[in-house]
């Protein structure tokens, strides 16, 4: 028997509000209530999984994400989240395998950037994944990231040499040198292999600060270890000043709160607005944001986002009207004040 859609949507919206306030126990209760109404809805399961993740109930989160995947097999989000849970549980081999699976899903959808991000996470968790290092090397080469491709080819060379496959190791060095002919690292690795003296993995500048996929970086920035005291979102300086910094923070927060599922027309409009905003399509972004606000969505991050869009459109009256509502918000008041003051300098 179908559940009550109105009760479901109210529970989801209450859950999102609690999640925004980082009241994860309350969010958990709301999302569980939503599932009671619509037990087969994958988006509610994704939301519940996120709440369980943030109260550190990892085993339960894993079960919920597995159920979300069963309900929506083509959606990579529950797979990616379950890989993250496996990583937190210390099941690194399982997590690496899951990240590889997620990468294949994204690749099938034509999203090479997210595939690369998940391959990277897999290789950081489990060394010696030759097939994945090979796919990363080819992907980097295809997208013009020569230094990253160089790193992967030389990583392959080291691992192949370690297993006794000298010829293929040298082939990887030659591929690296075709990409970056004067690379001292590639030349040194090739010479060491020929001399049988390659005993340590070559160091790369990129290795000192591991890269993280965009989707997962947003989660790390927003939630950290689940503590509100974590430093979040963006660096201390931004090329567009406090308003630019606050906008990055707002878009990240909105995306993370809403990415668990398309639960209402307002949610869909905000997600559309975020995507348009990020690529500089400000007029349609404003239309999408206004639609969500008209439906009753009033997150401070949403108000900051549409305020910044109005600034970009030089609709100063609308910008000041919206940004003035954020004077008491500790996360966005500095950015809002900057935006309000911009007309003076234009």
Q: What is the pLDDT of residue 257?
A: 64
Could you tell me if residue 119 is inside a domain?
no
What is the residue whose two structure tokens read 């030389």? 154
Q: What is the pLDDT of residue 199?
A: 62
Q: What is the pLDDT of residue 101?
A: 92
pLDDT digit string, tens, across residues 230-243: 323 333 345 667 88
CATH number at residue 270: 1.25.40.10
Q: What span, in angstroms and rounded, lies between the C-alpha atoms of 114 and 104?
A: 10
* C-alpha distances in Å from residue 254, one per residue of 87, 133, 142, 174: 25, 34, 32, 46
Domain that holds residue 267: 233-345
Task: State whether 241 and 177 are in the same domain.
Answer: no
Helix, strand, or coil (residue 235): coil
What's the sign of the alpha-carbon dihedral 35, 37, 40, 41? negative
Last residue of one domain, picked from the residues 154, 180, 201: 201
CATH number at residue 190: 1.25.40
Q: What is the pLDDT of residue 271?
A: 81
Could you tell me if residue 72 is inside a domain?
no
Task: State whether 274 and 334 are in the same domain.
Answer: yes
Q: What is the pLDDT of residue 256?
A: 67
- 126-133: long-range pairs with CB below 8 Å, 24+: 126/92, 126/93, 126/96, 127/159, 128/159, 129/96, 129/100, 130/156, 130/159, 130/160, 132/100, 133/159
CA 286 vs. chain centroid, Å, equals: 23
pLDDT per residue as tens, the chain (346 positions): 457 888 998 998 898 888 888 888 999 999 999 999 999 999 899 999 999 988 999 999 999 999 999 999 888 889 999 999 998 888 988 999 999 999 988 888 888 888 999 999 999 888 778 889 999 998 998 888 998 999 999 999 988 888 888 899 999 999 999 989 988 888 988 998 888 876 677 666 544 444 444 444 433 333 333 333 232 333 334 566 788 888 888 888 777 666 555 456 777 788 888 888 888 889 989 998 998 888 778 788 899 999 999 999 988 889 889 988 887 777 788 888 878 776 543 4
Task: State whether 328 and 246 are in the same domain.
Answer: yes
Could you tell me if residue 110 is inside a domain?
no
Count each helix (H run) and each strand (E run) in the chain, helices first: 18, 0
The total domain count for the chain is 2
Q: What is the pLDDT of residue 81?
A: 92
Could you tell me if residue 317 is inside a domain?
yes
Alpha helices in 209-264 (DSSP H): 214-223, 241-258
Could you tell me if residue 55 is inside a domain?
no
Q: What is the pLDDT of residue 100?
A: 92
Could you tell me if residue 327 is inside a domain?
yes
Q: What is the pLDDT of residue 60?
A: 92
Task: State whether 258 and 185 are in the same domain.
Answer: no
**Judging by beta carbons within 10 Å of its beta carbon (0-12, 13-18, 19+), is residue 9 exposed, middle or buried?**
middle
Could you tell me if residue 295 is inside a domain?
yes
Could you tell me if residue 334 is inside a domain?
yes
What's the sign of the alpha-carbon dihedral 50, 54, 60, 66? positive
Q: What is the pLDDT of residue 162?
A: 85
Last residue of one domain, picked from the residues 161, 181, 201: 201
Task: State whether 337 and 266 are in the same domain.
Answer: yes
**Judging by beta carbons within 10 Å of its beta carbon (0-12, 13-18, 19+), is residue 345 exposed, middle or buried?**
exposed
Last residue of one domain, picked from the residues 185, 201, 217: 201
Torsion angle, CA of 136/141/143/148, rounded to 10 degrees? Answer: 60
Contact 39, 63 (CB under 8 A): no
CA 87 vs. chain centroid, Å, equals: 16
pLDDT digit string, tens, across residues 266-293: 777 888 888 888 888 899 899 989 988 8
Q: What is the pLDDT of residue 239?
A: 62
Q: What span, in angstroms and rounded, lies between the C-alpha atoms of 120 and 205?
A: 15
Q: What is the pLDDT of residue 225?
A: 34
């Amino acid at each position: 028997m179908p559940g009550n859609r109105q009760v479901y949507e109210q529970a989801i919206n209450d859950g999102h509000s609690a999640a925004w306030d980082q009241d994860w126990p309350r969010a958990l209760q709301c999302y569980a209530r939503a599932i009671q109404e619509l037990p087969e809805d994958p988006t509610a399961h994704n939301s519940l999984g996120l709440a369980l993740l943030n109260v550190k109930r990892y085993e339960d989160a894993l079960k919920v994400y597995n159920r979300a995947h069963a309900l929506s097999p083509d959606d990579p989000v529950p797979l990616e989240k379950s890989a993250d849970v496996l990583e937190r549980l210390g099941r690194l081999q399982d997590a690496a395998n899951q990240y590889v699976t997620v990468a294949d899903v994204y690749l099938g959808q034509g999203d090479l950037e997210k595939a690369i991000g998940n391959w990277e996470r897999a290789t950081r968790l489990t060394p010696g994944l030759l097939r994945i290092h090979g796919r990363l090397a080819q992907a980097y080469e295809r997208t013009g990231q020569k230094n990253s491709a160089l790193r992967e080819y030389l990583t392959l060379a080291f691992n192949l040499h370690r297993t006794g496959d000298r010829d293929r190791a040298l082939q990887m060095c030659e591929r690296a040198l075709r990409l970056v002919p004067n690379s001292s690292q590639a030349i040194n690795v090739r010479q060491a292999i020929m001399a049988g003296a390659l005993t340590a993995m070559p160091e790369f500048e990129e290795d000192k600060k591991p890269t993280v996929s965009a989707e997962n970086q947003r989660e790390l920035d927003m939630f950290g270890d689940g503590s509100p005291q974590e430093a979040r979102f963006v660096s201390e300086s931004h090329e567009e000043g406090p308003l630019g910094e606050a906008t990055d923070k707002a878009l990240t927060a909105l995306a993370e709160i809403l990415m668990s599922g398309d639960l209402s027309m307002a949610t869909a409009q905000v997600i559309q607005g975020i995507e348009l905003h990020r690529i500089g399509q400000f007029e349609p972004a404003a239309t999408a944001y206004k639609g969500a606000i008209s439906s009753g969505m009033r997150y401070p991050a949403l108000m900051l986002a549409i305020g910044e869009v109005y600034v970009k459109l030089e609709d100063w009256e609308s910008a000041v009207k919206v940004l003035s509502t954020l004077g008491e918000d500790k996360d966005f008041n500095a950015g809002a004040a900057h935006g309000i003051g911009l007309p003076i300098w234009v």
